A = this chain, B = another copy of it.
């Protein structure tokens, strides 16, 4: 095949789709390169290793999402005392912006995030907090200020419960929207699902701590 300067992009595009659908360890470089229509060895040539390819796939989304998200939160706080619902809702636009970067980008990003958290044995968590720590803490700070009655340790857990809800829901969103349509004649796109989950999350995060 003739020279093609977009080999790296073709690999990233094929890899992110397959990683999101099947997970990282279940996706072989041979499958990626065949879908991308590039040579098997080009992954190691351009990225060094499979591990570094995974990081590159994640970084391409995080570099777009994280600054926009923290920016949205900061801007929201310019006004007066945003509610939890408003803080979560401020992430909707940055999330949906990813659909302009790539078709189905929002879902792909959230699925990659979930896969990464579960498969990488804590490595992704370290990667995100070290590379996007300032952006993250803007969000965490806003949430904490908006629910001052929740102690920090409890908030840590609730934010991870929240992450789990989002990530799992988005990973199975296809199947769920199908069932919802069949059983309740209710059609939901990805944005509709996001708007359904926000009140659920906000209620859980803010519920008073019981010392039963």
Contact = CB atoms under 8 A, between A and B. Distances in A.
Interface of A: 22-23, 25-26, 114, 117-119, 121-122, 125, 152-154, 156-158, 160-169, 171-172, 175-176, 179-180, 183-184, 186, 193, 196-197, 199-207, 209-210
A169 B156 CA distance: 12
A121 B178 CA distance: 12
B207 A203 contact: yes
Contact of A205 (B119, B156, B200): B200
B184 A156 contact: yes
Contact of A125 (B117, B175, B206): B175
Contacts of A200: 158, 161, 204-205, 207
B210 A118 contact: no
A199 to B, nearest CB: 5
9 contacts: A114-B118, A125-B175, A152-B184, A157-B180, A161-B165, A161-B197, A164-B168, A168-B168, A199-B210
B204 A176 contact: no
Nearest to A151: B184
A87 B179 CA distance: 25
Contacts of A183: 153, 156
Contacts of A210: 199
Contact of A167 (B121, B166, B168): B168
A162 B197 CA distance: 10
Contacts of A207: 199-200, 202-203
Contacts of A197: 157, 161
